[in-house]
Amino acid sequence: MYHVLGEILTWRAELQQRYRNPLFKVPVPTLNLGHIHGGDNPNRICGACDLHIDLRPLPGMDIAELRGELEQRLAQRLAGSGLELRVERLFGATPPMETPAGAPIVQAGERLTGHAAEAVAFCTEGPYYNKLGMDTLILGPGDIDQAHQPDEYLRLDRIDPTVDLLEKMIGEFCVES
């Protein structure tokens, strides 16, 4: 596995040199070596080792191409070693998305909230709507710092202003011509 780990870390560094988007707090694609497990006892050589990774590309990067590039590199690195590589995807990929700053929905969101749009590094269903030909704006009453953790909550004082904002957005895009 150390051959695989070394190749993945080298590839991650290369990706981060090739791709950059200053709109994100972390302006480069990330690749986390999140879980590794092999063997059942420290005094035995294990017959297999599992590694789970999390790759988060930037908008404009193609996930299928990235997966292919990684698998090719790993196969080349292990060629002739007698080791076997098996890749299993734990779930389908969610592609990165980017809605242009000049899109009417982004402009309306900025005008109605008084805040400039910004890039965020978390997963939503937005890319699937964009793929259907819609411009998508990720907007809601929650705070990402409170999401996906114990005691997750939504502040009540954020609900009414969000309902008001949504009514205005619906009026602008769905009712008015």
Q: Which residue has the higher pLDDT, 96 or 168?
A: 168
Q: Look at the domain 104-175 and name its fold.
A: DNA polymerase; domain 1 (1.10.150)
Q: What is the pLDDT of residue 87?
A: 92
Question: Rounded distance, CA 136 to CA 99, Å?
Answer: 6
* Portion of the chain with pLDDT greater than 90, in percent: 64
> Which tokens is 58 given?
């930037």
pLDDT tens sequence across 13-47: 999 999 999 988 899 999 999 999 998 888 988 88
Domain coordinates of the chain in residue numbers? Answer: 2-78, 104-175
Question: Rounded distance, CA 36 to CA 41, Å?
Answer: 14
pLDDT tens sequence across 39-93: 888 898 888 999 999 999 999 899 999 999 999 999 999 999 999 999 998 888 8
Spatial CB neighbours of 135, under 8 Å, sequence gap ≥ 6:
99, 100, 103, 104, 105, 106
Average pLDDT, the chain: 91
**Does 163 have pLDDT greater than 80?**
yes
28 conformational bin, left if phi > 0, alpha if psi -120 to 50, beta if neither: beta
CATH class of 2-78: alpha beta
pLDDT confidence tier of residue 123, bands split at 50, 70 and 90: confident
pLDDT confidence tier of residue 96, bands split at 50, 70 and 90: confident
Q: What is the mean pLDDT of residues 150-162?
A: 91
Q: What is the pLDDT of residue 115?
A: 93
